């Protein structure tokens, strides 16, 4: 009715809001990656989990032991009217982790800590590949980018103890050393995207 009244009054109706969308990343320990994206404007929710492997509903013990093929990953639900897919890729590649580290991230070593940008369709795959090409062309990293570009098969949520870990363990030595500096980098490098407080 309001849209009809707007048309009759000569005003164009307001565009309908976009539905929430989802993106998936793996970039080392999911505690920090989750915490970074929880501070991005337009992100509605973030969940830690496992993706990239073949084992169904893996436990953290199975993933750490190896053989599942999974990497610690995050599911990021966002409002595309407030933050774009490309902006989220920028946060992933430039702040949330180091895409030049192969099968590790900082002190964490193993294939379950590898860098992966997951895609669900051709548009997402092309956007990821374009971002990587752009970073290489600009020589933003001195070492080669080793991020895998992988079609998402499934995402399995991690145990409750891993959810919103950074938010609830800000004094943890691991968080202080490895994750809080990256959160500070998000605030400094992308001030328009940074959101204080937590999205837990």
Give me the average pLDDT of each 10-residue run along the chain (200 residues): 53 76 98 97 97 96 94 98 98 98 96 98 97 95 97 97 95 96 96 84
- Is residue 195 in some structural domain? no
How would you classify residue 2: left for phi > 0, otherwise alpha for psi between -120 and 50, otherwise beta? alpha
Based on the residue annotation, tell me whether 29 is a catalytic residue of this protein.
yes
Q: What is the CATH number of the domain that holds 90?
A: 3.30.1060.10
In the prediction, which pLDDT does 198 show? 73
**What distance in Å separates the CA atoms of residue 134 and residue 121, rounded to the nearest whole number?**
20
Overall domain count for the chain: 1
Domain that holds residue 171: 17-181
pTM of the model: 0.91
Q: How far is CA 147 from the centre of its chain?
A: 13
Question: Which among 23, 26, 29, 135 is annotated as catalytic?
Answer: 29
Q: Is residue 189 part of a domain?
A: no
The H or E element spanning position 77 is strand 71-78
Residue 171 resides in a domain? yes
Which pLDDT value is given to residue 16? 80
């Amino acid at each position: 009715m309001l849209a009809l009244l707007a048309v009759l009054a000569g005003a164009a109706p307001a565009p309908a809001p976009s539905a929430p969308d989802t993106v998936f990343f793996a970039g080392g320990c999911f505690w920090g990656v989750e915490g970074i994206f929880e501070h991005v404007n337009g992100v509605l929710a973030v969940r830690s989990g496992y993706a990239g492997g073949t084992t169904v509903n893996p436990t953290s013990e199975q993933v750490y032991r190896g053989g599942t093929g999974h990497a610690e990953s995050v599911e990021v639900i966002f409002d595309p009217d407030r933050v774009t897919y490309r902006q989220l890729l920028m946060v992933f590649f430039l702040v949330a982790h180091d895409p030049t580290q192969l099968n590790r991230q900082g002190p964490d070593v193993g294939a379950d800590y590898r860098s992966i940008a997951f895609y669900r369709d051709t548009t997402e795959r092309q956007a990821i590949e374009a971002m990587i090409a752009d970073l290489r062309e600009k020589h933003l990293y001195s070492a080669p980018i080793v991020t895998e570009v992988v079609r998402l098969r499934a995402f399995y949520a991690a145990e409750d103890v891993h959810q919103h870990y950074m938010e609830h363990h800000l004094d943890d030595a691991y968080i202080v050393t490895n994750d809080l500096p990256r959160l500070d980098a998000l605030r400094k490098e992308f001030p328009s995207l940074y959101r204080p407080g937590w999205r837990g």
